[in-house]
Amino acid sequence: MTEPLVPHDQDPEANGAGTTDALMDKVTAAVDEFAKRAAPVVREVGARAAEVAAAAGVKAGPVAHRVADATEDVGQRLARKASDVASDLRRSAGGEGAAAPTTAPSADASTAEPPTGTVAPETATTESGTTESDSAA
């Protein structure tokens, strides 16, 4: 049972290198022929894929602009709503008469006036321009 399985009419040594080389040559020739015939088809498929990509790019440009415009509009509406919510929260936290700031604080804090209610009562000013110490007298 340890003998190789070969036809009885052939010698095991005769079935070796010559047949393998011939088979390899046939496979190589078939692959080369396939590559020659397939090359134009592959080029055509590639060209059509490039045309489709170009058409998609042309059509995507205006869509991208519309999306950007819509995003800008939504962003502005969201900013307005967030500002309104912040103002409402400041009003509810500071009582009925507290005024909510409408702009962001300036970058130069040394020249900016402190917000109402954060300084000593004798120097704080009311909305009419008088100091609290003046209105108490």
How confident is the model at residue 110, as a pLDDT?
A: 47
* pLDDT over threshold 60, residue 135: no
Q: Is residue 125 classed as helix, strand or coil in its secondary structure?
A: strand
Task: Please write the tens of the pLDDT for every residue from 86-111.
Answer: 999 999 887 654 454 555 554 444 44
Q: Is 125 in contact with 118 (CB distance < 8 Å)?
A: no
Q: State if pTM tops 0.85.
A: no
- DSSP-H helix ranges across the chain: 17-94, 132-136
pLDDT tens for 38-82 read 999 999 999 999 999 999 989 898 999 999 999 999 999 999 999
Task: Supply angle C-alpha 56, 58, 64, rounded to 5.
Answer: 90
Nearest to 117 by CA among 134, 88, 135, 95: 95
